[in-house]
Amino acid sequence: MNRPLDGLLVVSLEQAIAAPYCTRLLADNGARVIKVERPDGGDFARAYDRRARGLASHFVWTNRSKESLALDLKEPAAIEALDRIIAEADVFVQNLAPGAAARLGLDHQTLRTRHPRLITCSISGYGSGGPAERRKAYDLLIQAEAGFLSVTGTRDEMAKAGISIADIAAGVTAYQSILAALINRGRTGAGDNIEVSMLEAMAEWMGFPMYFAMDGAPPPPRNGAGHATIYPYGPYDTADGGVLFGLQNDREWAAFAEGVLLRPDMAADKRFQGNAGRADHREAIEPVIVATFAAMTSAQAVERLERAGIGTARISDMAALWAHPQLAARGRWAEIGSPAGPLPALKPVSGDGWQPRLDPVPALGQHTEAILAEFALDPTRITKGKT
């Protein structure tokens, strides 16, 4: 089966999460991704932890199906070799520190002058220009700058996301923009330059709270695992644990009041009509919900909620997610190779007519000699024994 991006060559000078996640998504769909790394340790995400059977969890997640090319870009011969490879590429991605690509002669103006069909993509914290251009931009810092922390957590304390949400937002934004540029190149024959900032990617994802609080209106309050504006929506304690559920409309409220709370009078109470009415009268509803669920086991609560047609969910930990029966039933797990041996991997979404690429996670410099030989480059001259 042909994959959508088969035959596409992507060269990426990448590290951490945002750019590696973008290029892994390209690789999932068939692109050949050559990942350029420093010989002395490579992508620093390789050393984040050793939790994935001796490998770094972030690195395993974002770097399968790639080829690792170790080059010391302080050496002119290595820069010349990289430029030779980029000349054959369709896409060049980099997320170096601001100004670093230009110092190496790998800025988009230089590259696209030499290679007009090339699509270049740079990912940074704040984008070029502006007062924040050269500021450091770790994921937590962008969560703060983009207002994410202000709406996440409890009423008493803000909280960061448990995953690298700003990096992921930037990686997905870069991925979709590269796909759009490839489609456009197919129409025009010309490459393009894409600039993605983590701040702007997160600002897009913050659209709901921004519009909610526009023109000086109060922002949505932090509400823990509940919802700032939809009610009731969130976790509740039971006699032996807890359940999580949510309501979206008056029909569900009536079913919940009658079938779960066993309070048909609350279904008919005009104070509780519309989400705004329920949210405005939380103090009258909340004690009834709390008392009802405290008197039931979790199994009893879920049975009553599902019988009433109310959306509910288990609160899974990571072990439960690995063992989730829905993922197993749909055959979503596969196996990939790695320097530590076979590892499980969640299959990417694909069409009915093709299967995603699920090739190994590379060891540092694993493909250096083969890649250099393929492009008629002398490995002994370029690597100087460093790989």
Residue 32: φ, ψ to 5°: -85, 125
Nearest Cα to 60, choosing from 45, 71, 39, 38? 45
Rounded Cα gap, residues 167 and 170, in angstroms: 5
Q: Where are the beta strands (DSSP E) in the chain?
A: 9-13, 32-37, 66-70, 91-94, 119-124, 192-197, 233-238, 241-246, 311-313, 333-336, 343-346
Rounded (10°) angle between helices 165-188 and 18-28:
50
Other CB atoms within 10 Å distance of the CB of residue 111: 23
- In whole angstroms, how large is the CA radius of gyration of the chain? 25
Chain centroid to CA 206: 15
Rounded Cα gap, residues 281 and 85, in angstroms: 64
Chain centroid to CA 179: 17
By the 8 A CB rule, do 146 and 152 touch?
Answer: no
Torsion, Cα 302 306 311 314, to 10 degrees, reads 30
Chain centroid to CA 143: 13
Residue 100: φ, ψ to 5°: -70, -40
- Whether 167 is a known active-site residue: answer yes
Total residue count of the chain as it appears in this document: 387
Rounded Cα gap, residues 121 and 107, in angstroms: 10
List 139, 167, 265, 317, catalytic entry: 167
Rounded Cα gap, residues 44 and 167, in angstroms: 15
* DSSP per-residue string spanning 202-269: HHHHTHHHHHHTGGGPPPPPP-TTS-SSSSSEEEEEETTEEEEEE--SHHHHHHHHHHTS--HHHHH-
Residues classed as catalytic: 167
